[in-house]
Amino acid sequence: MNTVYPSFYKDFSCIASDCSHSCCKGWEIDIDNATAEKYLKIGGSLGDELRANISSATGVYSFGLAKNGACPFLQEDGLCKLILSAGEEILCEICTNHPRFYTVFNDYELAGVGLSCEVSCGLLLQAGSLEFSIEGQSSNLSFSEILKLLGINMKKEQQTFHPGLSQNDALEVLEIMGNTEPIDDKWREDIAAYLQYARENPKFLENYEQIMPHQIFQRIYQYIMYRQLKKLSDYSLDDLLIYTDISTEYIFIAAAITGDLPEAIRRWSEQIEYCPENVAMLLKM
C-alpha cells in the first residue's frame, strides 16, 4: 500500500521540553496491549513505577494522570522519565506516533501530523501551496492531484477557501462551535468572549481579510479537508465541505480577533480534530 503525506511531514520533530503545550498533559494516554504487557514484565524500580501508574479499569490500559492532568512520567523540566531511563523504544504506540496520524482510503495510506501540536502548526503555516508526496516517488503532487489519485471528484472552487464572512456569519459559526463538547472551561470562555467581540465590532472580519495571508488559509483549508478524506466512506462530499468550511471559518474568526493564527489553529485542533464526537457533529450539520 502506498503512503501519501504532506511535503512537510518528514520535517516534523518533537521539541520536547521547549514545547509550550505538552502533549503529555491534558490528554488521556491509552497504552496498546503489546506495550502494556511489556510494561507489566519490566523489573526493577522502573517496572514498579510503571505498574503503579497503569490503570485498566475501563478495559483499556492507560496511564493514570497526575493531579495536574499530566502523565506521571512527565518531569518538571518537560522531559519524559521513560525516555531518559530506557530510550524511545520503551514508549507505547500513541506516545511514539503522536501527533502523526494514519488513515486508509481507496487503497492508499494517508499520513500527516495533527494540528494540536505547535510544531505541526508551524509546518503548515510555511509559505507556498500545499503539496504532497507519495512514498518512493520523487515528485510532489498538488491537492487537486491527490484528490484525483484517490478517485474523489471535487470542483476547483470546492477545494478553495472563500472568506467574505459577514458579521452574522461569524456569529453563526461561533454559536455552532460553542455547541460542541468543550475540551475545557477556557473553550467556553473564549467562545463567549469572541461572540461579544463579534457583536461589538461589525467590521473586524473585513479588516482582517485585508491583511490575511490568503495562500496560508488555502493550505489550512485543504489540510483540514485532507485529514478527514476517509470520512467520505461514511459521509457525503457536502458533509465534508461543510465540516471544512466551518472549521476554517472558525480559525479565520479566532485569528481575526486574537491576532494569533497558530494558536487559533492549535486550539481548534484540540477541540475538534481530536474529538471524534465534535468531528461527527460538524459533519452532520
Shared domain for 195 and 87, answered yes or no, is no
* Digit-coded pLDDT (tens) for 106-140: 999 999 999 999 999 999 999 999 999 999 898 89
The dihedral formed by the CA atoms of 77, 82, 88 and 92, expressed in degrees to the nearest 10? -120
Q: Whose CA is closest to 125, among 264, 253, 4, 282?
A: 264
Shared domain for 173 and 251, answered yes or no, is yes
Region of 11 on the Ramachandran plot (φ > 0 left; ψ -120 to 50 alpha; else beta) = alpha
Which range in 60-64, 92-96, 171-175 is most confidently predicted, on average pLDDT?
Answer: 171-175
Residue at 83 is within a domain: yes
Residue 251 burial (10 A CB sphere; 0-12, 13-18, 19+): buried
For the residues 236-247, what does the mean pLDDT come to?
98
The answer to whether 56 and 25 have CB atoms below 8 angstroms apart is: no
Domain boundary among 75, 97, 119: 97
Residue at 110 is within a domain: no
Give CA–CA dist 5/243, Å, rounded: 21
Residue at 106 is within a domain: no
For the residues 204-219, what does the mean pLDDT come to?
94
The percent of residues in the chain predicted with pLDDT above 70, rounded, is: 100
What's the confidence (pLDDT) of residue 102? 96
Q: Whose CA is closest to 262, among 64, 68, 124, 81?
A: 124
Residue at 37 is within a domain: yes
Give CA–CA dist 18/234, Å, rounded: 39
For the residues 246-268, what does the mean pLDDT come to?
98
Shared domain for 185 and 263, answered yes or no, is yes
Give the chain's domain count.
2
Domain boundary among 44, 79, 97: 97
* Digit-coded pLDDT (tens) for 188-204: 999 999 999 999 999 99
Mean pLDDT of the chain: 94
Query: Which has more pLDDT, 187 or 67?
Result: 187
For the residues 167-183, what does the mean pLDDT come to?
97
Shared domain for 176 and 86, answered yes or no, is no
What's the confidence (pLDDT) of residue 146? 98
Non-local CB neighbours of 164 within 8 Å, separated by 6+ positions = 209
CA–centroid distance for 167 within its chain: 27
Shared domain for 89 and 171, answered yes or no, is no
What's the confidence (pLDDT) of residue 41? 92
* Digit-coded pLDDT (tens) for 58-90: 778 999 888 888 999 999 899 999 999 999 999
- Weakest-pLDDT range from 12-16, 195-199, 259-263: 12-16
- pLDDT for residue 22 is more than 90: no
Shared domain for 192 and 279, answered yes or no, is yes
pTM: 0.92
Provide φ and ψ at 229, rounded to 5°.
-60, -30
Residue at 125 is within a domain: no
- Confidence bin at 278 (pLDDT 50/70/90): very high
What's the confidence (pLDDT) of residue 162? 93
What's the confidence (pLDDT) of residue 19? 85
- Confidence bin at 52 (pLDDT 50/70/90): very high
- For 208, the grid coordinates are 482582517
- pLDDT for residue 32 is more than 90: yes
Domain boundary among 81, 97, 113: 97
Residue at 28 is within a domain: yes
DSSP-derived 3-state class of residue 109? strand
- Confidence bin at 18 (pLDDT 50/70/90): confident
Shared domain for 259 and 176, answered yes or no, is yes
Structural domain including 79 reads 24-97
For the residues 172-196, what does the mean pLDDT come to?
97
The answer to whether 137 and 278 have CB atoms below 8 angstroms apart is: no
Q: Are strands 2-6 and 108-113 parallel, antiparallel or unpaired?
A: parallel
What's the confidence (pLDDT) of residue 30? 92
- For 195, the grid coordinates are 461572540
The percent of residues in the chain predicted with pLDDT above 90, rounded, is: 86
- pLDDT for residue 224 is more than 90: yes
